Amino acid sequence: MRPQPGDYTPYFETYISLIKDDDFLSALEKNHTETITFLKSISDEKADFSYAPGKWSVKQVIIHISDCERVFNYRALSIARGDNVALPGFNENIYADNCAPEKRSLADVIEEFSLVRQNTICLFRTFDNAMLSRRGVSNNNPVTVLALGYVTAGHEMHHLNVLRDRYKL
């Protein structure tokens, strides 16, 4: 089952289109293993590298993936449980500016991502088809729980592609 147009804001199409499977949970699990292997191949010397002035460091990108995954999980949980409150957006640049990557090791950042992903998989496994189909409002846009699952998996893939292409990792 895949999300349909209208289940998410067109902005999310970038992420959803990266998931080729009709099973986002399998993608989350497969991506987790592949991502950890990839991230562990990055040297500590490259962890603070940014490909251009004003761009995030490698550690900030990884922390960003974890931060967004937490936000997406909260949105999915809230909607799946039937809370009809409109959920706010968030400013990823403020999060990145305040994540203090210089105080953390690359290994710590990778471990955090791994734990967040394990939590994501556990959470989405609890949702039945009715819950996955529930629609809510997030950042002033309609979204279903299913779409948030696909967005989570695709968002990770998007940023890994950025690390490979722009950071040359």
pLDDT tens series, the chain, 169 aa? 899 999 999 999 999 999 998 999 999 999 999 999 999 999 999 999 999 999 999 999 999 999 999 999 999 999 999 999 999 999 999 999 999 999 999 999 999 999 999 999 999 999 999 999 999 999 999 999 999 999 999 999 999 999 999 999 9
Output the pLDDT for position 49: 95
Mark out the alpha helices in 19-144 (DSSP H runs). 24-40, 58-80, 92-97, 106-125, 129-133
Contact between 15 and 36 (Cβ < 8 Å): no
Nearest CA to 114 among 155, 42, 63? 63
pLDDT at 21: 84
pLDDT of residue 14: 95
Whether domain 23-165 has CATH 1.25.40.10: the reply is no
